[in-house]
């Protein structure tokens, strides 16, 4: 061992400049003391020289032994480190894969070999071995430490691209814990018996007790079967608590409880429907309860007989809603709404009434009805309408209204309304509740005072903080709802006139397809009242008459009819031809009158950039849910949507995919 090698193996502290300096100082002191000893006494100098030589010899021998032991220790440590690296590489519980430049497997460690079970994958392409792992290797920056599944185990993947190495950490146990935690997360819900009061109204105490006992038995069995805790908080209201795992099970069953309750009670001639609102995804129970309550209100606003499930900050999921809403038997709600509406009108500035874009008879008739109520209260009213965006029937109605100067002067354009409205004025939306469908949606931004009166099932998009909401999906039309309000309005002002009554009756006629669809006893009561105040049925027939050209166009639309599923038919127009909205609706109604058609969809171009779909059903198929999937809404048997920037063939294909998905 040469001197240089020894120096290379000296520990760092022995090669320190500070230590060298101290050794030199000690040596200098020893030499100085020896010289001084010789000067003083020769014998003392000899003794000091001998001691110096003995000390140097001891230090030399000790250093030699120390260096030998240190050298041995370093060699042993180096061996142990290299041996540990090899053992760790082979035995550590992390899978290692080394790839060549062609992404073929060159080597895997024994640990991974024991887990993947394949006898030999050396030389195989990584893509053939595991495609998910191959994608993770090609896109290492797309997701930080992605996870893959391989032979019933879950691995977290780490990529080292420069070495063409893949490291797999088995996290199966932790993934199972995460799944168990997710499945056990709480779900809070409310269940409401939609028409409990109406069903039990004609029963005596014994009958009500028997009916309640039947419900309790059924709910108890259902709760045990699905591990649902429920508590009845009132005659028609239940609190629900369950796990997310059981919620997923209920969703797979499409909430069969809703159909089972309806069928079971119908056999007793006491048809009961239920609505449910459920929420999950939040640790706070009070927040979940609030969201669940909002979901329940949304379900009731859509007509009941359905369940709405929502994860926090996510879109709701709808189940049920297969039946038309049952007509309420009491007029108490109409009276309360009428009184509340009048008070809000009196406490506001001017009244602005507007229907939806592409207005129909129901939209315009409802606007005229609300305007008359405002005038009976001596309020200034403006009806917002876009005269450039009207169908043939509405244009004819507007020509008739021109002869009634006091009525016609209330109409204003969207631009005029936006220039004159103030924050103290009141905006009333009729025949719609989605701001995006309003003729002048900017009015809702200039005043926070707004009211919604509609008969369509409520959707997720809704006007912000309305002062009053009157949505009754059981009604045939908004015109029917507004007609009922007149009974409770004071007659200080001029009563409803013939043209207003005719427009309201026209709205009912159009929305019920001449009293053949969605018609209840209250519908005929409203029609009877309008007839009694001068509604002109003959004028309605003239307004709704088609031009021969439109009739031929409708016949051509029907020629394109094709069945995409049993009972479901689609017709469509030409992509370069613009059709009026009323034609699509009339075509869909005509298709329903044909044998074998349970649901009809008509796709036509409404403008250069917009394509519309009119959907109609006899009741077995919920066209509202289908149209909601495509951004629209409506009723179970009457719905529509409009799409921008797509061709008719593209929309027909999209509609077909939605139908196949929903109806399957």
User: In this structure, which long-range contacts are made by residues 169-172, counting pairs with CB atoms below 8 Å and at least 24 apart in sequence?
Assistant: 169/94, 169/95, 170/93, 170/94, 170/95, 170/115, 171/147
pLDDT of residue 2: 45
pLDDT of residue 329: 42
Q: 171 near 155, Cβ under 8 Å?
A: yes
Domain with CATH 3.90.1640.10 in the chain: 332-543
**DSSP code per residue over 402-427:** TT-HHHHTTEE-HHHHHHH--TTSEE
Find, among 389, 186, 155, 206, the residue nearest to 282 by Cα.
Answer: 186
Q: 312 near 281, Cβ under 8 Å?
A: yes
Across the strands, what pairs with 307?
A: 276, 319
Residue 59 structure tokens: 């230090």
Positive or negative: CA dihedral 463, 466, 470, 474: positive
So what's the architecture of 548-663 in CATH? Roll (3.10)
3-state per-residue secondary structure call for 593-631 = CCCCCCEEEEEEECCCCEEEEEEEECCCCCHHHHHHHCC
Distance CA(482)–CA(454), nearest Å, equals 9
Positive or negative: CA dihedral 119, 123, 125, 131: positive
Q: Which helix (H) or strand (E) holds 451?
A: strand 450-454
Residue 225 structure tokens: 């079967």
Q: 659: exposed, middle or buried (C-beta count within 10 Å: 0-12, 13-18, 19+)? A: buried
Distance CA(352)–CA(381), nearest Å, equals 6
Alpha-helix residue ranges (DSSP H) falling in 120-204: 126-129, 131-138, 172-183, 196-200
Distance CA(564)–CA(118), nearest Å, equals 46
Q: In the CATH scheme, what is the code of domain 332-543? A: 3.90.1640.10
Domain with CATH 3.30.450.20 in the chain: 94-175
Find, among 200, 188, 216, the residue nearest to 276 by Cα.
Answer: 188
Q: Which helix (H) or strand (E) holds 98?
A: strand 94-99
Q: 313 near 220, Cβ under 8 Å?
A: no
Positive or negative: CA dihedral 343, 346, 349, 355: positive
Question: DSSP label at 322?
Answer: -
- Residues making up the chain, counted from first to last: 664
Distance CA(128)–CA(131), nearest Å, equals 6
pLDDT of residue 652: 93
Strand duo 153-160 + 165-170: pairing: antiparallel
Q: In the CATH scheme, what is the code of domain 94-175? A: 3.30.450.20
Find, among 442, 514, 503, 455, the residue nearest to 481 by Cα.
Answer: 455
pLDDT of residue 509: 92
Distance CA(215)–CA(257), nearest Å, equals 12
Find, among 23, 35, 167, 161, the residue nearest to 108 by Cα.
Answer: 167
Sheet strands side by side (includes 450-454): 411-412, 381-384, 351-354, 426-430, 450-454, 468-471
SS3 370: helix
Listed in sequence order, the residues at least 6 apart from 280 whose beta carbon sits closer than 8 Å to its beta carbon are 185, 186, 187, 188, 244, 247, 288, 309, 311, 312
pLDDT of residue 5: 46
Q: Give the distance between the most distant pair of CA atoms in the chain.
A: 151
Taking CA 500 as the corner, what is the angle to CA 498 and CA 502, rounded to the nearest 5 degrees? 65
Residue 114 structure tokens: 């024991």
> How far is CA 507 from each of CA 366, 372, 557, 622, rounded to the nearest angstrom?
8, 16, 25, 23
Distance CA(352)–CA(419), nearest Å, equals 12
Q: Other CB atoms closer than 10 Å to residue 32's CB: what's the count?
A: 10
Could you tell me the end-to-end alpha-carbon distance of the chain, in angstroms, rounded to an integer?
86
Q: Is the pTM of this model over 0.75?
A: no
Q: Which residues of the chain have pLDDT under 50?
A: 1-13, 329
Positive or negative: CA dihedral 371, 375, 379, 382: positive
Domain with CATH 3.10.310.30 in the chain: 548-663
Distance CA(385)–CA(360), nearest Å, equals 11
Question: DSSP label at 234?
Answer: E
């Amino acid at each position: 061992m040469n001197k240089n090698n020894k120096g290379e193996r000296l520990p760092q502290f022995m090669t320190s400049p500070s230590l060298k300096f101290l050794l030199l100082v000690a040596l200098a002191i020893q030499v100085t003391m020896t010289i001084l000893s010789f000067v003083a006494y020769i014998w003392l100098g000899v003794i000091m020289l001998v001691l110096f030589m003995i000390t140097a010899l001891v230090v030399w021998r000790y250093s030699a032994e120390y260096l030998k032991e240190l050298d041995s220790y370093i060699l042993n440590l180096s061996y142990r480190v290299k041996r540990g690296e090899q053992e760790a590489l082979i035995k550590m519980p992390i899978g290692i894969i080394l790839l060549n430049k062609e992404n073929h497997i060159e080597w895997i460690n024994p640990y991974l070999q024991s887990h993947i079970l394949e006898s030999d994958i050396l030389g195989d392409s990584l893509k053939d071995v595991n495609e998910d792992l191959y994608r993770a290797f090609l896109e290492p920056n797309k997701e930080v430490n992605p996870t893959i599944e391989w032979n019933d185990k879950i691995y977290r993947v780490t990529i080292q691209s420069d070495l063409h190495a893949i490291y797999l950490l088995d996290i199966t146990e932790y993934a199972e814990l995460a799944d168990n935690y997710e499945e056990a997360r709480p779900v809070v819900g409310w269940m409401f018996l939609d028409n409990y009061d109406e069903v039990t109204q004609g029963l005596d105490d014994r009958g009500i007790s028997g009916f309640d006992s039947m419900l309790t038995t059924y709910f108890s069995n259902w709760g045990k079967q699905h591990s649902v805790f429920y508590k009845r908080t009132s005659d028609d209201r239940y609190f629900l608590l369950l796990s997310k795992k059981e919620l997923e099970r209920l969703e797979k069953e499409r909430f069969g409880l809703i159909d089972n309750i309806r069928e079971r009670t119908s056999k007793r001639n006491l048809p009961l429907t239920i609505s449910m609102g459920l929420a999950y995804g939040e640790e706070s129970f009070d927040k979940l309860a609030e969201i669940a309550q909002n979901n329940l209100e949304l379900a009731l606003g859509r007509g009941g007989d359905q369940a709405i499930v929502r994860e926090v900050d996510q879109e709701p999921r709808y189940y049920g809603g297969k039946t038309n809403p049952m007509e309420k038997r009491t007029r108490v709600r109409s009276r309360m709404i009428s009184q509340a509406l009048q008070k809000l009108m009196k406490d506001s500035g001017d009244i602005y009434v507007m229907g939806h874009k592409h207005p129909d008879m129901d939209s315009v008739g409802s606007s005229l009805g609300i305007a008359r109520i405002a005038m009976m209260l001596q309020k200034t009213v403006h009806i917002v309408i876009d005269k450039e965006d009207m169908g043939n029937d509405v244009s004819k109605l507007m020509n008739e209204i021109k002869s009634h100067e006091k009525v016609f002067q209330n109409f204003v354009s969207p631009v005029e309304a936006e220039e004159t409205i103030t924050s103290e004025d009141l905006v009333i939306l009729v025949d719609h509740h989605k701001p995006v469908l309003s003729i002048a949606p900017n009015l809702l931004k200039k005043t926070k005072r707004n009211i919604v009166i509609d008969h369509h099932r409520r959707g997720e998009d809704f006007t912000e903080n309305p002062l009053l909401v009157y949505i009754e999906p059981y009604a045939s039309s908004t015109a029917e709802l507004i007609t009922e309000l007149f009974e409770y309005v004071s007659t200080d002002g001029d009563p409803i006139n013939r043209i207003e009554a005719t427009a309201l009756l026209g709205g009912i006629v159009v929305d019920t397809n001449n009293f053949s669809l969605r018609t209840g006893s209250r519908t005929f009561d409203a029609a009877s009242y309008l007839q009694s105040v001068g509604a002109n049925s003959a004028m309605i027939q003239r307004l709704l008459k088609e031009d021969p050209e439109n009739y031929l166009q409708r016949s051509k639309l029907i020629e394109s009819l094709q069945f995409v599923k049993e009972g479901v038919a689609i017709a469509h127009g030409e992509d370069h031809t613009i059709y009026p909205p009323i034609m699509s609706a009339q075509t869909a109604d005509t298709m329903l009158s044909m044998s074998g058609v349970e649901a009809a969809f008509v796709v036509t171009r409404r403008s250069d950039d917009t394509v519309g779909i009119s959907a109609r059903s006899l009741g077995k198929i919920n066209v509202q849910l289908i149209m909601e999937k495509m951004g629209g809404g409506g009723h179970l048997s009457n719905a529509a949507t409009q799409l921008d920037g797509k061709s008719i063939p593209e929309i027909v294909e999209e509609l077909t995919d939605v139908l196949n998905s929903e109806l399957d």
